[in-house]
């Protein structure tokens, strides 16, 4: 025998097989394993003579050998595996692993070809795991994983299922926890290999290695024995990395798939009957790779639906197997790709098998199963929702909403699982939009989005006061915070989707933001794990692109229909009248009857019965049409009445029952003319059956009716004759054994409201299913009928036109979503912010407010936007600073952020924000100890000034008696948010303790610096044209409220107005003009204030603006300077204050004399001010004005008519007014002299005016007599018109002199 280095000869197979065969020979028991030893020696001898052939035998299982040689050398390995002896099995398994991992084996291993040597080896490997040694178990797992991973071998059919079952067995009964975790990991890796290949339909694919720690997320953490996870991860990674070989492409070739017979039932027996229904599209063209994936998926679904028997209800092994199958299905769905959407067969597999599995397991109370179901459902929702619209519409209420809406007695772990799932859903903006569009806007679907939001609100508010709950205080707080986080995630996703659509440009923007976009750049929605959204991956599904208008109609139709149904459930006749009036149903009795019979809209069955029993003419005709719509032909009387009563509950009034039963009897006899002598017989018998049903199945009835009693009660009813006793006896047995009840009758009592809601959503059977009282793992039993009914719902919904999956890119849909969610969100955020001091919770709420303001503001939803902004403003507590906490300071920061981020869309809401900024500044002013504005703006009063204490800083506040400081007391006392001045409307004493709280809270406000405050105002330069006008309007309102404060007038907003006007002075004329219209009215109203210091301050502010504005040059024929200076004119004419009028004259004088070269159209306002001053009652004002007029006329006369010659007439009128001065004759005489001066200038042609013929309007010409002959008549007329006021003034002066 050769040394170990040369064992097996020169061939590649020999180098692998030789050492292993030699080791088998050494480890074998010679007497017991003589055949094995002999076979090994023969194989070694054979290998010594073999070399790798150049031409590969396509039918050979080993690379480089012929088929016969390959079978000969593999036979010892098969014998060793079958020897049931660990010492020989171990080298055989090692050899088999190398053959697969090195790519030496090749071909197809199928259970249908059971005489294949490779099939026998794999089967033996599966069996050898039962020897009972830990090392052998791991070696078996290693071989099986390498066999499935090998790209040269395709293990399929029953052989593949056998491999999976072997791994299952090791997991369920492994010798230690590490082996069980390894088995679970190998199973997950095998399923990943199978379905990754099925996705690409190729053996040549890159396969991801599973994460062992992720597999232990929900279960089997108890199996971890220290380093088990690390060991198992290395185990799987080594096998995956050891795989070599060239992929065999022939396995990807298409072939005709025959319909499977029970899909591998030989491997796992006892499948549920529901699984044996005909598979849609199970035949046709596929590939072997994809067929294997289909078989594995189908059988995993079957295994997940196995339930314990009544004999052994606590079968933990079966429960573990069920849980493992769900975990593997989770791996498949989590890694699933386009094949599950594009391939009809795989999509139908989800609908037919996986959905049925979720349906059946939904009734179990095992936590791990519920978590796995939720995880699988999340994958379906994220990736495959476009093809599973009806199924998701059923499972969402069943799995998620049922738990979410249970506020009083929920399972903590279940509800936390649901809240975590909703948080993930909320993080995907497209899912949120799609849910609303496809369910809340679909008449035949539940309002999932609305119920999510309302359920989260209920959870955020906690159990109602006085109610009994199983939750601890910590659990309740946890639920509240998590639900708020979900609501924040939802509104954030809505905003992110809106921003994304606006950025893409696929939507029509509302008018409020046509020209500008929000300054904040929100991040685009990202999908977990980097997967592409379902709508992008699969556009070819039955999805339709819908616009907001279409969805609005559908949503409105649904809401109106629900309103009609709600009305019907209170007053049936009113409800029918409303539904007919709104054209939700036709006005014929037949159409109304059809609506009642189908009852897909949540009608209350009791109310249906009441309506059918009414005696009004229309209701009677509807009842007749309702009964006539039934076909009782060839139907037994008992079955007919049962079939008839399944859609409504008989009314309690005997006359109503009489009318219904009378019509039923007539219809039954018409369908079965030979059944009874007359309809009277059927009528009486129907009554008897109803009475028997009540008697037999009502627990309140003690003495039950016997069969003989029933027969005796019905003697002589057939036209005086008796019905056969056998017939009546059989009818009695039928009713007693099987109660007549409606389809919707539930096994657990529910409130009327819940019944109505469940019927509306089509969930009666499902609620019955999940509410079935059972122990942890008992089978559902009678619920098989309910499961079939729900399957029928799936099929019925999939056939409707409404089942089309709708995609939408029009952001207008957000309006309807906000209508649904803004109220619950406002309540949840407000209550949590008010009641909780937890920094994390309050921060979440404030983020929610910010996102809500963003969405509502951009969408132009004024009411909702103002509600959110007002709430945040109130939570700043700036109106009662003594009660402030850290969360209130955070609210201040949120207000500032809202102003910066969404300023373009705040409109009227700016007033709330600017009010908050004003109050912050006031508090900071008090904290710094600076003098208050009141000391500058109050009317001087020496006595008061002496008594009032000086303002003090924080350190001084702590040391001195501050109860006498009215400014501090007003703020400490506080007031309502809406009060114009804080503390004005409040009364009562202020304690030193309150003052101490206030002083401490001033330190909190140090977090808000001057930079943050000023940033809002400096940022106004970036506001769009609509927003800056709204901003100025709001700031004017706030400034007026500050200045009009009776106790503490302030000028903060007024100074900011001047700043804003300065910041925005470079805007285009149209925008600046609109801004100035607002500012002008403000300056006029405040300038006429009775509070003189306030009015003086305002006029000085206006002067500052005017001086700044006059630095800008104005072109000819514009009138904006005149508009800008008009407030001076109006106040000069209307003010009763001498000081104000004198100040205006001084301001105008200063402006004109310092900016004379820039004054153009402003001359008109200047002369109007001086004209008013000329008629003033005070001499000093007249003299002051005339002094300036004198300087203007003497030194700057050419500038008066530089751009607009009509200002000359204004100048003349002003001088004429001065000629009438009653205070000083010198003024009148000088005015007359100036008029003469103007006449001379005019006569000499020295009047300068704009040259109308110039192209650019900037050149000027001098009118003189030398070229007057070349003027047109129009120019002569214009020139002559300047003489009119001048001559009129001369005549007037002459007349006064004569008098």
Structure tokens at 790: 């729900």
3-state secondary structure 344-364: HHHHHHHHHHHHHHHHHHCCC
Structure tokens at 680: 């009277």
Helix (H, G, I), strand (E, B) or coil at 717: coil
Site of tokens 């592409």: 532
- According to DSSP, residue 721 is labeled B
Structure tokens at 1088: 């006429």
Longest dimension (CA), the chain: 160
Q: How far apart are the first and last CA of the chain?
A: 156
Name the CA dihedral angle for 1024, 1025, 1028, 1032, rounded to a multiple of 10 degrees.
-170
Structure tokens at 1026: 């609509």
| Contact between 1002 and 923 (Cβ < 8 Å) | yes
| Contact between 376 and 358 (Cβ < 8 Å) | yes
CA distances to 113, 806, 1186, 1231, 1235 from 1294, in Å: 134, 88, 21, 13, 12
Name the CA dihedral angle for 1070, 1073, 1077, 1082, rounded to a multiple of 10 degrees.
130
Helix (H, G, I), strand (E, B) or coil at 718: strand
Structure tokens at 967: 């400014």
Residue 1072 neighbours by CB distance under 10 Å: 20
Beta strands in 150-222 (DSSP E): 153-156
Residue 1072 CA, chain-centre distance (Å), reads 39
> Helix 412-426 vs helix 448-461: angle between axes, to the nearest 10 degrees?
130
Helix (H, G, I), strand (E, B) or coil at 217: coil
How open is the CA angle 244-249-251, to the nearest 5 degrees?
105
Site of tokens 């350190």: 955
Q: Using CB atoms within 10 A of its CB, is residue 729 exposed (0-12), middle (13-18) or buried (19+)? A: middle
Contacts of 299 (CB under 8 A, 6+ apart): 161, 164, 263, 264, 267, 268
Name the CA dihedral angle for 454, 460, 466, 472, rounded to a multiple of 10 degrees.
130
> What are 110's strand-pairing partners?
156
Site of tokens 């660990």: 86
Buried/exposed code over 949-973 (b: 16+ C-beta within 10 A; e: otherwise): eebbeeeebeeeebeebebbbbbbb
For residue 596, give the nearest of 629, 563, 571 by alpha carbon.
629
For residue 601, give the nearest of 557, 632, 663, 548 by alpha carbon.
557
d(CA 444, CA 797): 8
Contacts of 565 (CB under 8 A, 6+ apart): 575, 579, 601, 602, 603, 756, 760
Structure tokens at 20: 């292993």
d(CA 845, CA 830): 8
Catalytic residues: 653
Name the CA dihedral angle for 168, 170, 172, 177, rounded to a multiple of 10 degrees.
-130
- According to DSSP, residue 366 is labeled -
Contacts of 289 (CB under 8 A, 6+ apart): 154, 197, 198, 201, 202, 203, 251, 252
d(CA 669, CA 680): 10
Residue 241 neighbours by CB distance under 10 Å: 11
């Amino acid at each position: 025998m050769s040394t170990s280095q040369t064992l097996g000869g020169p061939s590649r197979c020999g180098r692998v097989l030789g050492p292993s065969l030699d080791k088998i020979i050494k480890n074998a028991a010679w007497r017991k394993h003589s055949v094995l030893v002999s076979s090994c020696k023969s194989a070694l001898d054979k290998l010594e003579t073999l070399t790798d052939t150049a031409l590969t035998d396509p039918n050979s299982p080993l690379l480089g050998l012929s088929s016969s040689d390959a079978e000969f050398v593999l036979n010892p390995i098969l014998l060793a595996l079958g020897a049931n002896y660990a010492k020989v099995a171990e080298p055989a398994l090692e050899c088999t692993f190398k053959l697969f991992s090195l790519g030496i084996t090749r071909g197809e291993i199928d259970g249908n070809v059971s005489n294949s040597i490779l099939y026998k080896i794999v089967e033996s490997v599966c069996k050898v795991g039962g020897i009972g040694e830990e090392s052998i178990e791991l070696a078996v797992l290693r071989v099986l994983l390498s066999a499935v991973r090998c790209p040269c071998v395709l293990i399929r059919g029953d052989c593949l299922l056998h491999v999976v079952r072997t791994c299952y067995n090791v997991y369920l009964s492994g010798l230690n926890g590490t082996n069980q975790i390894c088995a679970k990991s190998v199973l997950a890796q095998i399923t990943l290999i199978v379905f990754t290949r099925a996705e690409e339909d190729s053996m040549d694919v890159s396969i991801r290695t599973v994460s062992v720690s992720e597999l232990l997320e929900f279960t089997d953490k108890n199996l971890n024995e220290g380093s088990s996870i690390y060991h198992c991860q290395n185990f799987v990674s080594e096998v995956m990395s050891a795989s070599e070989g060239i992929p065999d492409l022939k396995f990807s070739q298409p072939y005709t798939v025959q319909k499977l017979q029970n899909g591998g039932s030989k491997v796992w027996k006892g499948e549920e009957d529901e699984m044996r229904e005909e598979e849609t599209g199970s035949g046709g063209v596929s590939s072997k790779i994809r067929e294997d994936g289909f078989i594995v998926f189908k059988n995993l679904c079957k295994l997940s639906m196995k339930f314990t028997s009544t004999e052994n209800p606590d079968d933990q092994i079966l429960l573990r197997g069920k849980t493992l199958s769900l975990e593997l299905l989770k791996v498949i769905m989590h890694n699933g790709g386009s094949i599950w959407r594009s391939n009809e067969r795989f999509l139908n597999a989800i609908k037919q098998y996986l959905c049925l599995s979720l349906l059946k397991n939904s009734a179990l109370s095992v936590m791990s199963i519920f978590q796995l179901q939720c995880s699988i459902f999340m994958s379906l929702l994220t990736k495959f929702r476009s093809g599973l619209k009806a199924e998701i519409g059923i499972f969402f209420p069943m799995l998620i909403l049922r738990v979410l809406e249970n506020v009083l007695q929920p399972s903590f772990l279940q509800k936390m699982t649901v809240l975590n799932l909703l948080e993930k859903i909320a993080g995907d903006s497209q899912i949120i939009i799609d849910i609303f569009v496809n369910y809340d806007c679909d008449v035949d679907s539940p309002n999932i989005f609305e119920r999510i939001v309302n359920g989260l609100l209920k959870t955020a508010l906690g159990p109602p006061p006085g109610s009994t709950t199983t939750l601890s205080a910590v659990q309740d707080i946890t639920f509240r915070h998590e639900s708020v986080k979900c609501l924040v995630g939802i509104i954030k996703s809505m905003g992110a989707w809106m921003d994304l659509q606006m950025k893409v440009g696929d939507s029509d923007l509302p008018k409020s933001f046509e020209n500008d976009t929000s300054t904040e750049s929100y991040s685009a929605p990202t999908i977990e794990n980097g997967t592409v959204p379902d709508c992008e991956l699969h556009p070819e599904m039955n999805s339709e692109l819908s616009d907001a208008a279409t969805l609005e109609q559908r949503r409105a139709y649904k809401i109106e229909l629900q309103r009609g149904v709600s009305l019907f459930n209170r007053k049936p006749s009113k409800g029918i009248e409303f539904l007919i009036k709104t054209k939700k149903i036709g006005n014929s009795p037949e159409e109304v009857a059809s609506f009642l019979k189908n009852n897909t809209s949540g009608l209350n069955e009791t109310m249906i019965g009441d309506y059918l029993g009414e005696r009004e003419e229309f209701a009677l005709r509807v009842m007749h049409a309702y009964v006539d719509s039934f076909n009782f032909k060839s139907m037994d009387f008992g079955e007919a009445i049962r079939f008839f009563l399944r859609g409504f509950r008989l009314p309690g009034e005997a006359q109503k029952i009489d009318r219904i039963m009378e019509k039923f009897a007539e219809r039954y006899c018409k369908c079965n003319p030979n059944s009874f002598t007359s309809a009277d017989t059927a009528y009486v018998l129907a009554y008897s059956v109803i009475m028997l049903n009540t008697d037999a199945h009502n627990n309140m009835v003690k003495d039950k009716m016997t069969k003989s009693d029933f027969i005796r009660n019905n003697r002589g009813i057939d036209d005086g004759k008796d019905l056969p006793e056998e017939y009546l006896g059989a009818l009695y047995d039928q009713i007693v054994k099987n109660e007549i009840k409606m389809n919707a009758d539930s096994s657990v009592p529910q409130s009327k409201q819940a019944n109505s809601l469940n019927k509306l959503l089509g969930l009666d059977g499902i609620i019955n299913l999940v509410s079935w009282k059972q122990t942890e793992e008992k089978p559902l039993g009678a619920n098989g009928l309910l499961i079939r009914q729900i399957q029928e719902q799936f099929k019925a919904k999939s056939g409707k036109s409404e089942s089309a999956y709708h995609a939408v890119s029009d952001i207008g849909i957000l309006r309807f979503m906000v209508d649904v969610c803004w109220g619950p969100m406002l309540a949840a955020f407000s209550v949590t912010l008010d009641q909780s001091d937890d920094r994390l919770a309050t921060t979440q709420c404030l983020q929610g407010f910010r996102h809500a303001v963003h969405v509502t503001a951009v969408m132009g939803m004024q009411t909702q936007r103002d509600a959110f902004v007002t709430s945040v403003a109130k939570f700043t507590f700036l109106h009662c600073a003594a009660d402030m906490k850290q969360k209130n300071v955070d609210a201040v920061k949120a207000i500032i952020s809202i102003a910066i981020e969404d300023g373009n869309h705040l409109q009227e809401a700016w007033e709330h924000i600017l009010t908050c900024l004003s109050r912050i500044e006031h508090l900071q002013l008090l904290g710094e100890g600076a003098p208050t504005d009141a000391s500058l703006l109050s009317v001087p009063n020496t006595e008061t000034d002496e008594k009032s204490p000086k303002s003090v800083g924080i350190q001084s506040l702590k040391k001195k008696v501050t109860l006498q400081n009215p400014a501090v007391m007003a703020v400490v006392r506080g007031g309502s948010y809406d009060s114009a001045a804080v503390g004005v409307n409040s009364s009562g004493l202020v304690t030193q303790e309150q003052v101490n709280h206030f002083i401490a809270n001033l330190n909190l406000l140090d977090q808000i610096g001057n930079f943050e405050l000023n940033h809002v105002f400096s940022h106004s330069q970036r506001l769009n044209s609509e927003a800056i006008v709204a901003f100025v309007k709001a700031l004017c309102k706030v400034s007026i409220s500050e200045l009009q404060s009776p106790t503490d007038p302030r000028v903060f907003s007024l100074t900011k107005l001047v700043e804003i006007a300065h910041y925005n002075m470079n805007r285009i004329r149209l925008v600046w003009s609109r801004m100035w219209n607002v500012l002008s009215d403000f300056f006029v109203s405040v300038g006429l204030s009775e509070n003189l210091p306030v009015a003086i301050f305002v006029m000085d502010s206006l002067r500052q603006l005017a001086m700044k504005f006059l630095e800008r040059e104005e072109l000819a024929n514009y009138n904006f300077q005149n508009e800008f200076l008009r407030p001076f004119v109006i106040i000069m004419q209307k003010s009763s204050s001498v000081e104000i009028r004198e100040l205006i004259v001084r301001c105008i004088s200063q402006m004109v004399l310092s900016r004379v070269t820039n004054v153009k159209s402003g001359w008109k306002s200047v002369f109007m001010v001086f004209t008013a001053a000329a008629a003033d009652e005070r001499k000093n004002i007249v003299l002051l004005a005339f002094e300036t007029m004198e300087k203007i006329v003497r030194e700057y006369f050419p500038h008066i008519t530089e751009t607009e010659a009509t200002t000359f007439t204004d100048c003349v009128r002003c001088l004429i007014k001065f000629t009438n001065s009653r205070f000083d004759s010198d003024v009148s005489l000088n005015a007359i002299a100036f008029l003469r001066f103007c006449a001379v200038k005019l006569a000499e042609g020295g009047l300068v005016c704009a040259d109308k013929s110039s192209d650019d309007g900037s050149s000027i010409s001098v009118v003189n007599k030398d070229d007057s002959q070349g003027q047109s008549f129009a120019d002569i007329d214009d020139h002559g018109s300047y003489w009119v006021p001048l001559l009129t003034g001369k005549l007037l002066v002459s007349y006064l002199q004569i008098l």
